[in-house]
Amino acid sequence: MNRRVVITGLGVCAPNGVGLKDFTQALLDGKSGIRHQPILEKLGFGCQVAGEPLVKDNLIDHYFTPLERRGLNATGIVYGVIAGMDAWEDAGLVKNTTSEPTWDRGILFGTGILGVDKFREAIHLIDEGNVRRLGSTSVIQTMASGISAYLGGQLGCGNQVTTNSAACTTGTEGILMAYERIVQGKAEIMLTGSCSDSGPYVWGGFDAMRILPRGYNDNPCEASRPMSASASGFVPGSGAGALVLESLERAQKRGARIYAEVLGGEVNSGGQLGEGSMTAPNSMAVQRCIKNAVFNAGIATADVDVINGHLTATSKDAFEIENWSQALNRIGAEFPYINSFKGTVGHCLAAAGSIECVGALLQFKHHVVFKNVNCDDLHPTITEIVAAHKIPRETLDYSPKIMAKASFGFGDVNACVIFKAYSG
């Protein structure tokens, strides 16, 4: 089937803004959500900064009943429900309050690890012989599919309700999985996105790997430096992003506002062969992923005018730029505009792809290319490939036509999605 798929709703719970309004303004201004975390200092972390959404209790009360809040100790579920419910409302959709599920609406919401704090709490209770004190929600808060189950129940969806997990690629992969389900005629509306827990038990492993910056504990806003010569590692983050994907026919029928069209994309793996490994991408696979995404979208490489990269603020940023250049066969001033939001939100792990896709799509709505921050000292290898003005340090007035968004994750896995400005 040759069904067109559009995006009709967005929601976000990010370190630099909870809700579309605050998140948009933060991206326009280059406002950082990366802060010093006293708990990381107390625990002796080398990197004591991170990006964590600031979610007030009275906001949580808007999304969870008092009964649902009882014993709730899973930040990823909180972030995911906020983003997911906001996206549903933003699309002009309402909860199903009938006695029959909406069979053509589904949920595909990913995560990497969920309910870490709840799981730790459960371990202590069990070890102390207090298993009866676990409560009735410990299972749903610690199972990976807890987030999709929460959302599916709140919205009454009767189509596929499931969770995907592909490390940092999770959110972008989920968009393509939801897109394919609609293209195949198996659903009309899919809520997709991803979330990640916050806290030392999530971020500790990365600190132990010594891949986080350690020289910015007193200056957190400058710690995440994508494409910079002085980049010294990614800053861990958390949160959630959510998107409502819908068949064009259904969206038009109900008069929905449309952010953009999804043209297609590609998901693949480098097999951890050659230069690829558990933590490093195989350039052959990355380039193939981008090329196939362009082909599957039915466009030419010259059509891409904006890229939102993965670009984590590590030594691999220059390799990523080289891969984009090779895949698109473009260099210098012919290279598309490119940005990374990790300078202001950090690397939100499993939530990264979805949060960044929300940000990328907002560029269509506001006719801009959001600025990059902390990269006034561009990496010299990058400037040999890309003209400096194609890496905007100030938000540009610009109307993107075709945008490519890619994510590359641990396990040598890749995903690239192509968005198009909707013109009817």
| Strands (DSSP E) found in 234-356 | 239-247, 260-269, 306-308, 337-339
358 closest CA partner among 244, 256, 241, 189? 241
Q: Strand, helix or coil at 325?
A: helix
Could you give the dihedral angle defined by the CA atoms of residues 209, 210, 211 and 213, in that order, rounded to the nearest 10 degrees? 150
Residue 362 token pair: 């907002």
CB-based contacts of 384: which residues, under 8 Å, 6+ apart? Answer: none
What does the pLDDT read at residue 81? 97
What six digits make up the tokens of 121? Answer: 């709490």
168-220 tens-digit pLDDT: 999 999 999 999 999 999 999 999 999 999 999 999 999 999 999 999 999 99
E strands, 156-211, are 161-162, 189-196
**pLDDT of amino acid 370:** 98
Which residues pair with residue 18 across a beta bridge? Answer: 13
pTM for the whole thing?
0.96
Model pLDDT, residue 294 = 98
Give just the sign of the alpha carbon dihedral 209, 215, 220, 223.
negative
Question: What distance separates the 2 farthest-apart alpha carbons in the chain?
Answer: 66
CB 33, CB 53: distance < 8 Å: yes
Alpha carbons 119 and 197: distance in angstroms, whole number: 12
Strand (E) positions, 296-336?
306-308
Which residue has 């909406």 as its token pair?
Answer: 102
Report how far apart, in Å, the C-alpha atoms of 90 and of each of 20, 84, 125, 257, 322 are. Answer: 9, 10, 40, 9, 37
All domains of the chain in start order, with CATH:
5-253 (3.40.47.10), 266-340+367-419 (3.40.47.10)
Lookup: tokens for 279: 């933590």
Place of tokens 């992923």: 289
pLDDT value at position 278?
93
DSSP state of 336: P
Taking the C-alpha atoms of residue 381 and residue 371, their distance in angstroms, rounded to an integer, is 20
Average confidence (pLDDT) per 10 residues, the chain, 424 residues:
91 98 98 98 97 93 87 90 98 96 98 87 84 79 92 96 97 98 98 97 95 97 98 97 98 98 98 94 97 98 98 95 98 98 98 98 98 97 98 98 97 98 91
Q: pLDDT (tens digit, 9 = 90+) per residue, 298-329?
A: 999 999 999 999 999 998 999 999 999 999 99
Rounded CA-CA distance 354/244 in Å is 11
Query: Exposure string (b/e) for 109-124, b if CB count within 10 Å is 16 or more?
Result: bbbbbbbbbbbebbee
Instruction: Of 239, 314, 236, give the one whose Cα is nearest residue 49.
Output: 236
- Per-residue confidence (pLDDT) for residue 1, from 0 to 100: 55
Q: How far is CA 119 from CA 114, 116, 207, in A?
A: 9, 5, 21
Q: Give the span between the Cα atoms of 130 and 124, in whole angstroms.
A: 8
Using CA atoms, how far apart are residues 291 and 357, in angstroms rounded to an integer? 19
